[in-house]
Structure 1
């Protein structure tokens, strides 16, 4: 594994020897990786590789059987997320956009975005952050009072990302943001992720769309059957013969 991927000075999240099981099935097997501040880190692999399970364990949505997930909530202030509740994890600055988006379809765009602020009470910066999200996704501004269920799949994904951003996360976890979207919408979503990262947002991106994920990621880890099998700089992995053969089909 590249030394640059494991620089202690740059880390915001350190996952060590993570194990997660569903009954007798071990979905994540002794997985260790690091996420650097201000970077996009991709977890890629085939369906069932353990990518989404890893994210769910980081957010404590499901319980891990072993390992640690250390998050730097403030400089030199590390906390093991596995000892916290999901609500506490959000309050500390980790927000997740779930696979399938999980927005509330019978509520308006406005109400969904407001839900993202529930951990922030009456923070005076909320109005400014809302403006940022609506400028980032102009379609949400134009449909602000409409029901979320009336949005297209791509628009719903934008709303899910916008809602997560309203929590003002230090670390944004994204689970399959391109799933089920038309190619044009996929391009738009990945463009937004690059824009967010350029502004300093740290991101963990779980994706089956290996090519798109590696193009925008600073570092990437490949999972197969719950185990890490490869790691490196995203764009360099795009040229790795093993990645080309297994995922790119050329």
Structure 2
């Protein structure tokens, strides 16, 4: 019951939270697709390998994720469950001690089950791709979407080290002749990651897609049900009109 109440409250305040956490940095568009099982599987692998050490998705269960994403239970346990002794029916928590996490990061890393609903998918997608080098920060990185972020860039080995070429200039400014951006975040050629920028963008799409699914695993079924309800109402409208015409045919 507590989980249901918390989910409801987070949903109700999602608009306010997104507005309060905004930096004004332009967000990149994204259209998630929960029917793309391959994308969700890749996103789940990225999440478990790079995010789950600090962040939990405590309102999800390994079993539900495995069934929805088409992953056999034994494969899920062997490759995507890192909590020692965890069972397939367990919640997707982690073993990080909250007090130690607060000491390391300043505050305990939040649960990410509902992050795409609270912050928004575009916010999340842009955030994951907007870390850049900042020697002034404790972890040596900052984030354009979440200024003074208190976490390291966990995906740096994939993306590489980004540098900010704007230096205070407007990040939305474009060349009047070519339409190209005047400045922005670019990967340092001497400190590239294991992925190209295009590959990293696709990987972050997959990760955002998975977190979007985690926040609303019934979205695809809900959308399909909505179509059936709409068709039913259309058919009902026809019969209601015919019934109305029969009742009123003798009224002048």
Do the structures match in fold with TM over 0.5?
Answer: no
Higher strand share: 1
Higher helix share: 2
Q: So what's the TM-score if we normalise by structure 2? A: 0.27
**Rg comparison, structure with higher value:** 2
Q: So what's the TM-score if we normalise by structure 1? A: 0.27
